[in-house]
Amino acid sequence: MHDVLLVPGFGGTETQPLLTKLVKALAENDVAGKAITLTKHRPQPSLAKETEELRAFFHALTNGKGAIVGRSFGGRVAVRLAAHEPVRAMVLLGFPVRPPGKTRPEDERALQALMCPTLILQGENDELGDPELLREICAENHNVVIETIAGAKHSYGKTEKIVIARTAEWLRTHARTNVT
């Protein structure tokens, strides 16, 4: 069994470089991680197909008791799953809450309703999701912690090592299924 399921950004696969680096960093922290690939198709606004697919992976690979790391679009799917399934913990990497010209009220409601400990690592200059907007949306949800990555955009670039280290550190204390 795996402690953490890692979900790539839109169009990404289990070989997405950030995810492969995270799997390695998690292993170095005694956390078993597994990156997945969601079927590629044009998503509907409800994300119902993606959520069902993630649910199947989640139960098969973590026995329904693990944590999830969602990168961008993968985070959107993860919060939809966590709205209906108990998830041990979650890390959202660059959550695209309101990209230019789009609103995503279902995503906002799902963030507000999260019941598991959740860390959001958002670039200070993320063009798809302003960290201050995320703070406003999640202000009433004490399960959500938002940390801003200074100088980062949606793609973390030079700050990626910081994101990987922080994710591994946080999941070491929140994700292991053998911790009672």
**pLDDT given at position 178:** 52
Share of the chain above pLDDT 90, in %: 89
Q: What pTM was computed for the model?
A: 0.95
* pLDDT value for 176: 67
Q: For the chain, give the mean pLDDT.
A: 94
Q: Identify the CA nearest to 91 among candidates 114, 66, 113, 69.
A: 69
Mean pLDDT of 20-39: 95
The per-residue pLDDT for range 36-77, each reduced to its tens digit, is: 999 888 888 889 999 999 999 999 999 999 999 999 999 999
pLDDT for 20 equals 97
119 closest CA partner among 80, 169, 81, 161? 169
The domains located in the chain, with CATH, are 4-174 (3.40.50.1820)
pLDDT digits (tens, 9 = 90+) for 98-140: 999 999 999 999 999 999 999 999 999 999 999 999 999 999 9
Rounded distance between C-alpha atoms, residue 14 and residue 8, angstroms:
7
pLDDT tens digits, residue range 164-173?
Answer: 999 999 999 9
